[in-house]
């Protein structure tokens, strides 16, 4: 009986089902410096200035938070950097690849990258690509209960690249079932930055994989520097504690189809 219990415990530890850790951005493959289009903190962000921000969403350091990553993480069991996709890296971005850093968005070609700023908010963690990008994450490495992120377009394309700073729609599926599909989001609208859209949903019990598609908004992929800020999976350990740094509830918000 004792030997059987120890064997079961070892299996759980190996598969990550007893995951008990916290996010650590320093474990990621991070971009040094301010980026190709430098970020700048200001008192009030301006559509006419690329990558300026007046709000910051810091890394969520609650136990049980697992960030989506691209390079420095691991799978199926995550590490401090987070969880990386299991699908081929060639599917992650429709242009400007290969993606070579965590917590950045695409720049102008394969050699330039930028920190993630959406609608005047800087996100310390997140993923970014150029449409159309597809990411498939293995959910079997920990006991995930929720997913949260903020979707939108990189402020690098301010003040209105391609007329509106690019456009994208985002689709989130679990085990082949679409849970959330956003409307087309643009970088700017009526002369103002478009705020990041909050997306959150529950992860069904025994779920196997999460698929995220950054689409082209139906108008082709030009200027579509698509971002997910603060993209993270949560275990019950994390949901038992309120995060220290949340965006105002008046911001765009979208729940799942459940």
Q: According to the model, what pLDDT value does residue 252 have? A: 43
- Tokens for 16, please give them: 């990550």
Q: According to the model, what pLDDT value does residue 222 have? A: 86
Q: According to the model, what pLDDT value does residue 247 have? A: 61
Q: According to the model, what pLDDT value does residue 160 have? A: 60
Q: According to the model, what pLDDT value does residue 213 have? A: 98
The dihedral sign for the CA sequence 73, 75, 76, 77: negative
Q: According to the model, what pLDDT value does residue 22 have? A: 72
Residue (of 247, 249, 239) closest to 62 by Cα position: 239
Q: According to the model, what pLDDT value does residue 16 have? A: 42
- Tokens for 13, please give them: 């530890």
* Residues β-bridged to residue 10: none
Q: According to the model, what pLDDT value does residue 109 have? A: 82
Cβ pair 180, 153 in contact under 8 A? no
- Tokens for 252, please give them: 């765009």
If 0-12 CB within 10 Å is exposed, 13-18 middle and 19+ buried, where does residue 29 land? middle
Q: Write down the domain spans for the chain.
A: 21-255
Could you give the 3-state DSSP secondary structure of residue 106?
strand
Phi then psi dihedrals of residue 137, to 5 deg: -110, 130
Q: According to the model, what pLDDT value does residue 242 have? A: 77
Please give the average pLDDT of every successive group of 10 residues along the chain, which has 258 residues: 43 43 89 94 93 96 97 97 98 95 91 94 97 98 98 86 87 98 95 95 98 94 93 95 61 41
Q: Can you identify the CATH homologous superfamily of domain 21-255?
A: NPCBM/NEW2 domain (2.60.120.1060)
- Sequence-distant (6+) residues with CB within 8 A of 190 are none
What is the rounded distance in angstroms from the CA atom of residue 102 to the CA atom of residue 125? 8
The pTM for the full model equals 0.87
What is the rounded distance in angstroms from the CA atom of residue 208 to the CA atom of residue 90? 22
What is the rounded distance in angstroms from the CA atom of residue 143 to the CA atom of residue 16? 8
Residue holding tokens 């190996």?
Answer: 14
């Amino acid at each position: 009986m004792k030997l059987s219990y120890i064997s079961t415990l070892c299996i759980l530890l190996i598969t990550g089902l007893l995951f008990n850790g916290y996010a650590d951005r320093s474990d990621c493959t991070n971009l040094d410096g301010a980026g190709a289009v430098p970020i700048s903190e200001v008192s009030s962000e301006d559509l006419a200035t690329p990558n300026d921000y007046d709000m910051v969403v810091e890394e969520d350091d609650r136990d049980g938070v697992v960030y989506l990553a691209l390079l420095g993480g691991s799978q199926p069991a995550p590490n401090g950097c987070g969880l990386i996709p299991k699908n081929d890296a060639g599917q992650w971005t429709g242009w400007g690849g290969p993606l070579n850093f965590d917590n950045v968005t695409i720049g102008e070609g394969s050699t330039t990258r930028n920190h993630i700023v959406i609608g005047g908010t800087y996100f310390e963690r997140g993923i970014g690509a150029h449409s159309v990008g597809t990411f498939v994450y293995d959910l079997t490495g920990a006991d995930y209960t929720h997913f949260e992120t903020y979707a939108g377009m990189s402020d690098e394309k301010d003040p209105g690249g391609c007329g509106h700073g690019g456009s994208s729609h985002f689709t989130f599926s679990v085990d082949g079932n679409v849970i959330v599909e956003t409307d087309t989001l643009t970088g700017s609208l009526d002369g103002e930055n478009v705020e990041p859209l909050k997306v959150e949903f529950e992860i069904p019990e025994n779920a196997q994989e999460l698929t995220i598609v950054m689409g082209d908004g139906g108008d082709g992929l030009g200027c579509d520097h698509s971002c997910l800020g603060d993209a993270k999976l949560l275990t019950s350990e994390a949901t038992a504690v309120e995060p220290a740094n949340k965006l105002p509830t008046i911001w765009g918000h979208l729940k799942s189809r459940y």
